Amino acid sequence: MDSRLRSQRIEMDVQNNNRKLLPGMVTEIIVPLQSDENALTLPSSAVLSATTGTFVIRVNNKKAEWVPIKQGITANGMTEVIAQISIQDKIVKQASEEIRDGSPVNTQSYGNY
């Protein structure tokens, strides 16, 4: 995506039976993206891609808890997350493998979302 122009060059095959589209023409299209109504949106930095899967780190009783997630749409530094988390949960904003599952978490040091 060209962030300055907010556009992306793509190539696609389309039916052109009425010959309204000519070679080299530029067009604007709208592609509807499906979103899961159960998804929460978090900063992309809160998503941890590890060798064992994709997680967010929830703070539970001052301890790190790795929660497996399914990643949705990512745009503008935010990522849709589908997981067993709620809007009230404290999530580490800068997820890192250095924050081990079950390790103590000082929310003032890491920040949360």
pLDDT digits (tens, 9 = 90+) for 79-103: 999 999 988 999 999 999 999 999 9
Pairing of strands 40-43, 48-50: unpaired
DSSP assigned state of 7: B
Q: What tokens does 101 get?
A: 């599952």
Whether the model clears a pTM of 0.85, i.e. scores above it, the answer is no
| Closest CA relative to residue 62, chosen from 86, 39, 92, 32 | 92
Q: Which residues of the chain have pLDDT under 70?
A: 1-8, 33, 35-37, 107-113
Residue 65 backbone phi and psi in degrees, to 5: -130, 110
